[in-house]
Amino acid sequence: MKFLYSFIFPNSFFLGLLLSIFALNTACTPDKIEKPPKDLEKFIKRNVFHSDTILQKIYDAANRRDAKTVASFFSDSQEKYRKHAALTFASLQDSSFLLPLLELLNDEKPSVRKAAATAIGQFWATSSEDLLIEKVTQMQVYGSYDVNVQQRLLEAIGKSATKKGLQFLALQNYENDTLRVGQAIGIYRAATKPNRNAQIISDSATVLMLDFLTVPKQNYTVRLMASAYFARLANKIIPKTEKDSIQGKKQNDFFEILKNKADKDSQIFIRSNAIQALSAIKTKESEEFLIQILNKTDENYLVKISAIRALGKFDNSLKIKKIIENYINAKNPNLQIVASQTLKELALLTDYKLYLGWAEKANNNNYRTKANLLAGAIKTEKTENIASQKVISLLDSSNNFYEKMAFLQALSENIQNIDLILDTLQTTQNHLLRTSATEALLNISTNFLVQNSKLSKAEKEVAKKIAQGFEFAINSSDVGAIALASNGLMNEKLKENIYRYNLRKLVNSLTEAQNKLVLPREIETYQEISKAIEFYTGKTSQIPPSAPTKGIDWKLIQTLDARNSIVLNTNKGEIIVSLFTEEAPATVASFINLAGTEFFNKKKFHRVVPNFVVQGGDPRGDGWGSVDYTIRSEFSTFYYDDEGYLGMASAGKDTESCQFFITHSPTPHLDGRYTIFGKVIKGMEVVHKLEVGDYIEMVSF
């Protein structure tokens, strides 16, 4: 179809790669929400960096985290340089330049003001709240404003909000769609701040978001953000009982509105969100409605996934389990996985034989489903070990390491399997199994070493085994095992019962393991060890600066168009992606250069979370791999407001490398936290088919 992208960069890069033939759906730009642009040619153009050395200088400075040089362009005579300089601070987030950015809100050009507002929001600083409210108030009083600028300001108010800012957002009565978008996004941001202690909700904001779901012909993005608000916060904001109410809105009012959206909204993602929110309304009517959704033969699988997860939060009655059990052999593998995962979580001690039977009925082609059901049985095992022996047999006979990993996790549901897990950890030569065995030990530790219980003598012996396993992992030189073990060691029971009088040896082992790490490639493991050392010593471990070590390949970037299409050829089919050269130049250049060396060929999709993301690009194949450099986080004006966005996995700001993900559905909680560098323009049906262990055959153009 298109020639294989296998030549070397940048010297022999073929000038003028195939132009994108599909326009990016404008869901990523809130200014034009519902419809794609009529003039598709505006997306097929030379990118803004072409032959512009000044703009390249701005982004080079940002890439070095040289905020002072970037800020020097705030007063440049050219609009585009002021705009781009301001926008790069959405990623730099250097608080010492917050006041100059606030001053840019007075710039004569709307594009500069919008960029400044976007960047200011990314600081999540309550200190900017008053000035932002003042600016929006001035715009409303004098009527001289650009709605797209004000939309970004409203979002920024939400990100910086205290009770005052949230009240301001909740009291506005906008008729303009773009302003309502900003209002809805702002309220959502206030409630979902990265710092959980700073998250803020109010009854008036909740009722307004509920009202947004009742307005006829309401803007799509407003409905999306309102439904996402309820999906994410349902247990905090919906009245607990039928007698409770919020500003006159009773629990049944919430139910009827959410039910209506779940049943009749034209957009799948809004329906899915509304169904998730119904998990907080545990009434007979709500349960029956969710069952009704599941009984529809033509229902979208994402909607059914939400219904299964919501129903699983009602209770662990046999009735609900029987309904969910109908999906363990569904045609869609993601439905099978979610059904079996939900059943595993609902398992009771009396369910042992029931789960064994379900495991026997499960499709043998989907090992994750079988592993989940057997895990449910193992979870309920007492003296019997039929389920455990079945899993051990499957583990030994499998040639698929991802299958082996799933069965190891199943065994971790019961403490009686600890010796087998420890033996696997200490004897395997395969890094995937070593990581999985450490994760299984972590699961046992989390479930067994309950924080508020006192350990008996026998339990202390088990705790010793857990600690010995973690210590083995720390000394294994395996970055995945080390990171997971460091996390597992942060357990109060281990600290109190095992390391109380033997602290120095453990800290020395952690420090020695940390000193052997190769940075920045193994920065995520470095961070986990630092947290463990701080947990035991009370001293904050010095984490090295995460400044990117990869420069932007401008020779390559200048040959690209604003939107270049690539093809991810997978074993399940083709996925055509439009790359965002202008919004994420460092990321796009890195991705293309890696593809040019065939780096992504045969790389597995190691993580698939149905109705969320598929993730790949890891050279280890377990989520702990990287390359020898990091790239800068690149946050733009784009949102994860649709399916099919490509984002960069990271361990924190400016730690991105080679792992990436593709979204199954809108994920607004990722906005401004994970670089968006592309969007699927054809082949989403392939994305939805991808399972753990599927792989990229090649990247082509």
Tell me the pLDDT tens digit for each residue of 163-177.
999 999 999 999 999
DSSP H or E run through 460: helix 457-474
CA distances from 606 to 402, 520, 542, 618, 638 (A): 8, 22, 31, 8, 26
Per-residue pLDDT, 46: 80
Segment 185-192 shows an average pLDDT of 98
Residues in the chain, total: 701
Q: How far apart are CA 462 and CA 449, in angstroms?
A: 9
Gap between the Cα atoms of 36 and 523, Å rounded: 40
Q: Is 347 left (phi over 0), alpha (psi -120 to 50) or beta?
A: beta
Q: Where in the chain is the domain with CATH 1.25.40?
A: 414-545
Quote the tokens at residue 236: 């905090």
**CATH 2.40.100.10 domain extents, the chain:** 554-700
CATH architecture of 414-545: Alpha Horseshoe (1.25)
**Average pLDDT of span 685-691:** 98
Check whether 36 has a pLDDT greater than 80: no
Q: What is the pLDDT of residues 525-552, one digit of tens each?
A: 999 999 999 999 998 876 665 556 789 9
Phi, then psi, of 608 in degrees rounded to 5: -135, 115
pLDDT digit string, tens, across residues 481-538: 999 999 999 999 999 999 988 899 999 999 999 999 999 999 999 999 999 999 999 9
The pLDDT score that the predictor gives to residue 204 is 98
Point out the least confidently predicted range of 22-26, 74-78, 208-212, 298-302.
22-26
Q: How far is CA 32 from the centre of its chain?
A: 25
For 655-683, what is each residue's pLDDT tens digit?
Answer: 999 999 999 999 999 999 999 999 999 99
- Quote the mean pLDDT of the chain: 92
Return the CATH superfamily for domain 554-700. Cyclophilin-like (2.40.100.10)
Assess whether pLDDT exceeds 80 at residue 44.
no
d(CA 325, CA 373): 10
Quick: pLDDT tens for 226-262: 999 999 999 999 999 999 999 999 999 999 999 999 9
- Whether 55 has a pLDDT exceeding 50, the answer reads yes
pTM confidence score: 0.92
Q: Taking 80 as the threshold, does the pLDDT of residue 274 lie above it? A: yes
